[in-house]
Amino acid sequence: MKKYSNCYHIGPFEQLTRKVYSAENGLPSDDVKCVCFDKNGMLYVGTDKGLSVIKDGTIKSVDTGDERNVNMLYCAPDGRIFAGCGKTLSIVDGFKTCVQESFESDVVDMKYDLDSTKWVLTKTHLYRQKKGSEGFDLTIGVPGEATSFAALRDNKVYIGTAGSGFEILMGKRWHWSELTVDVTGLLSNNISCVDIDKTGYIWIGTDKGVCVYDDKRYWLDCNNTQGLPKAEITAMAADKNGDRYFATTTGLIIQHNGRLSYYGFKRWLPDPYATGVAVSDDCKTICVSTKKGISVFTKQIMTLEEKAQYYRDMAEKYNVRKDGFCVERVLDHTGVVDENEGYVAVTDNDGLWTGYYVVGLCYEYAVTKDEETRRKARRSLDAMLKLVSITGDKGFVARALRYKDERGFQQNSSPEEWHLTDDGEIEWLGETSSDEVTGHFFTYSIYYQLCADEEEKKMLAGVIRKMTDHIIENNFRLIDLDGKPTTWANWNPQDLNGNHKWIYEKGTNTLEILGYLKAAKKMTGDDKYDKVFDYLMSEHHYGMNIMQYRIPDGHLLHIDDHLDFISIITLLTNTDDPAVRSLAMMGLRHHWNDERIEHNAQFNVTYGALTGDNCDVDVIANELIDMPLDLISWEVYNSHRTDLSWDHRPEELGMAPQLYEPLEPHERRYCNSDGNRFVCDCGCEELFNQQEGERAANMLMYPSVSCDRGHRLDIGHHFLLPYWMGRYYGIIK
């Protein structure tokens, strides 16, 4: 196969990870009110029951005396940490606090301005202490209930309130200029946070989003500027690089290079309601506080190859079970990944997904020539081969198998499809689908091309011969142990071409059988497979079937999309016939143009590898870079967002609406290439009802899709295969 003409070089990038801390880990309470980093990167966490310090992952308590409710933290320019504990302002000295001042109401904010003047804001008053002064030389009452403020110098002080709008301190004899919604461009009178950037613009966080004010008469907000978030803002922070972080009642929003990214419940935050946010001086660590603990985000520099190695190590440690099957791991406790608990599952598609893992290893070996990689590929290939040999039926492949000492043995919902071996040690699952058969042909073919020695080639040719002959001899059907055709493994021309009940499978199954036959011919050298191929092409117009093999379905049948893209690899890597390739290329281009919006790295790499044409390599790079390292099937909640475009066409088929475009990888649910990336929410029905209240009853849109709620660890298939395949074909480097 010809290498891609223009290689896309991807350098090191920032990979974001997160770690959650809560009362279970040692915090005084899950209800975190505020967070703050000192100049050395040490993290201070204020809760309703005390103050803690986190350094190098270790939590230590700070003695705050009788007042345990810590509602404000501030790192002064000289590095001192101040804590607002109710009505007192204290200095943190090691692991204890020393009370500095007491006030009539709770301390809510503190700042030093550019003149080194110290300002303290309580719910009712603003206090000033000039540099060198012993105490406060100014106290001025605040209209309404104060929440936050910003100060440049004496004539540049701005206060946000809870319901009374935006207050600006001004005049020779100081007074408050009250700016409210009805007379300005302010979004809301309920203000949670205020900040001033180096240009002098004032950033105001409200319960309706963020607005920016030029200190005169010009306003911008989230309704007329894409780079400003529209959400209920609870806190803001900015780092030295210009990035901004917004804590909201539905998660964290990061503004980077003018673009907003969303980090929500539950992959990123333990609770959707974020109460505060802080960023370290070196810009590498962000902490978000919630009502159920904190999330500490860490930026680490990685390369794609290092990321691939991470996914591979995780899979080898947690997802490989007996014989070398590589599938998802079931977790005993929410989010807890441990070798000593949980178990690697037995699924309906053990052969297909193990094959996906093997193929990724094959491309990796083809690039690196690492013998250990080849050994792992052969180990898992042997697991797949056992699915063929265990059935005792010539060429029939099992879906899965399970040993007597494995969890779930002889506890099956459809026992008639599970078969026990004569010795009673293993059971295997029949009712095999075309998915499984396609996975086996795909895997054996790629291993044959990239990894196999001569002995292995002979062995694989024998297996492929048995499987292909079984299909041909049974009128292009897969026949189960009971003598009946399985439900989905049907490549029969009379059905595909003449029975409308198979109309949606017509193109996909045609593509599959043509790929099987070309793989069989190449691996065995037997001309009879070319004769069957020609028969299907000439007598049953199978070539015309693949000229446009996919029926556009509004992005609903993702399993078939996945099968099509691996089937066309099997077909086109096993034939050089220009006539066949021309027909298949028509179908591939039509399919990829329809799927292009999905931003599926595997689909894009496949298209580029097989055609040499533009395959949106920048999209591939973004997908691979942005995929989270965390492969746990967390709940995902996004439907609160106002930046989403909804596709209501599925409702015509009695299905729930979905998004027109998929969310970014870090924002959406984890799914393989056969999953629906257009889904907005996952496993958060109760949360949606809680957030939306009465509105939820009338909103059957914004659907949730069930998930394992933190009890499944997936494999990095959707990274490993496109990454190494892209490397092999010279698409990315």
Q: Are 64 and 192 found together in one domain?
A: yes
Residue 414 inside a domain? The answer is yes
Q: Are 100 and 148 found together in one domain?
A: yes
Peptide bond into 266 cis (omega under 30): yes
- ∠ CA(168), CA(171), CA(177), 5° rounding? 30
Residue 154 inside a domain? The answer is yes
Q: Are 326 and 249 found together in one domain?
A: no
Q: Are 124 and 207 found together in one domain?
A: yes
Rounded Cα distance, 560 and 579, in Å: 25
pLDDT of the residue at 702? 45
Q: Label each residue of 316-332 as H, E or C.
A: HHHCECHHHCECCEECC
Rounded Cα distance, 326 and 311, in Å: 13
First-to-final CA distance of the chain: 18
Q: Are 511 and 574 found together in one domain?
A: yes
- Tens of pLDDT, residue by residue over 541-575, are 999 999 999 998 888 889 999 999 999 999 999 99
Instruction: Provide the domain count of the chain.
Output: 3
pLDDT of the residue at 701? 40
Q: Are 433 and 404 found together in one domain?
A: yes
Rounded Cα distance, 395 and 153, in Å: 82
Residue 471 inside a domain? The answer is yes
Residue 501 belongs to domain with CATH number: 1.50.10
Q: Label each residue of 686-718 as H, E or C.
A: HHHHHHHHHHHHHCCCCCEECCCCCCEECCCHH
- Tens of pLDDT, residue by residue over 450-504, are 999 999 999 999 999 999 999 999 999 999 999 999 999 999 999 999 999 999 9
Q: Are 536 and 685 found together in one domain?
A: no
Question: Which DSSP category does 354 fall into?
Answer: H
Q: Are 597 and 658 found together in one domain?
A: no
Using DSSP's 3-state secondary structure scheme, residue 59 falls into strand
Q: Is 183 exposed, middle or buried (0-12, 13-18, 19+ CB in 10 A)?
A: exposed
| Joined tokens for residue 294 | 């904190």
pLDDT of the residue at 134? 85
Residue 293 belongs to domain with CATH number: 2.130.10.10
Residue type, 573: T
Residue 3 inside a domain? The answer is no
| Joined tokens for residue 546 | 């693949």
Using DSSP's 3-state secondary structure scheme, residue 490 falls into strand
Rounded Cα distance, 62 and 49, in Å: 11
Residue 9 inside a domain? The answer is no
- ∠ CA(401), CA(402), CA(407), 5° rounding? 150
pLDDT of the residue at 719? 97
Helix (H) or strand (E) holding 579: helix 578-595
Tell me which residue range forms the domain holding 61.
Answer: 18-304
Rounded Cα distance, 172 and 74, in Å: 30
In the predicted model, residues of the chain with pLDDT beneath 50 are 694-702
Residue 368 CA from chain centroid, whole number: 28
Longest pairwise C-alpha distance within the chain: 100
Residue 12 inside a domain? The answer is no
Helix (H) or strand (E) holding 273: none
Residue 733 inside a domain? The answer is no
Q: Is 376 exposed, middle or buried (0-12, 13-18, 19+ CB in 10 A)?
A: buried
pLDDT of the residue at 530? 98
Rounded Cα distance, 516 and 528, in Å: 13
pLDDT of the residue at 694? 43
DSSP 625-654: HHS-S--B---B--TT-SS--EE-GGGGGT
| pTM for the predicted model, two decimal places | 0.94
Compute the residue count for the chain. Answer: 733
Q: Are 608 and 688 found together in one domain?
A: no
Q: Name the domain boundary from 286, 304, 322.
A: 304
Q: Are 374 and 330 found together in one domain?
A: yes
Nearest Cα to 668, choosing from 622, 708, 634?
Answer: 634
Rounded Cα distance, 148 and 204, in Å: 10
Question: 429-454 in b/e burial notation, b at 16+ Cβ within 10 A?
Answer: bbbbbbbbbbbbbbbbbbbbbbbbee
pLDDT of the residue at 138? 87
Q: Are 176 and 317 found together in one domain?
A: no
Q: Are 497 and 588 found together in one domain?
A: yes
Whether the CB-CB separation of 187 and 180 falls below 8 Å is answered with no
Residue 6 inside a domain? The answer is no
